[in-house]
């Protein structure tokens, strides 16, 4: 597949391509290391999301909100539990 195609593809196509590449990367890492580890999980996540992020610190407050097109948009519908002492 050409780089030209990737940069001209729509966002959904790009996402599918990132998932495909991440799956192959995960497969390669599992075969090489005879298992999966945290480093591999983070690398796969970064490839799928096209980011340099990692695991959130335990003290981070994370919430899930309703979408903008739904009734009561922006309302917090779930708050993830935080680590003890946070």
Q: For strands 76-79 and 63-65, give the pairing.
A: antiparallel
Q: Taking the complete model, does pTM exceed 0.85, yes or no?
A: no
- Confidence band of 4 (pLDDT split at 50, 70, 90): low
pLDDT for 15 equals 86
Q: pLDDT band for 85, please (50, 70, 90 cuts).
A: low
Give the Cα separation of 13 and 30 in Å (integer): 26
Q: What are phi and psi of 78, to 5 degrees?
A: -160, 135
Domain boundaries defined on the chain: 1-55, 57-86
9-43: per-residue pLDDT in tens?
888 888 888 899 999 999 999 999 888 899 899 98
């Amino acid at each position: 597949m050409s780089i030209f195609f990737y940069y001209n593809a729509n966002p959904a196509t790009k996402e599918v391509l990132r998932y495909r590449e991440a799956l192959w990367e995960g497969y390669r890492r599992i075969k090489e290391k005879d298992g999966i580890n945290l480093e591999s999980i983070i690398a796969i996540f970064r490839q799928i999301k096209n980011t340099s992020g990692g695991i959130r610190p335990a003290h981070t407050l994370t919430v899930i909100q309703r979408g903008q097109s739904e009734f009561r948009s922006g309302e917090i519908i779930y708050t993830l539990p935080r680590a003890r002492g946070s």
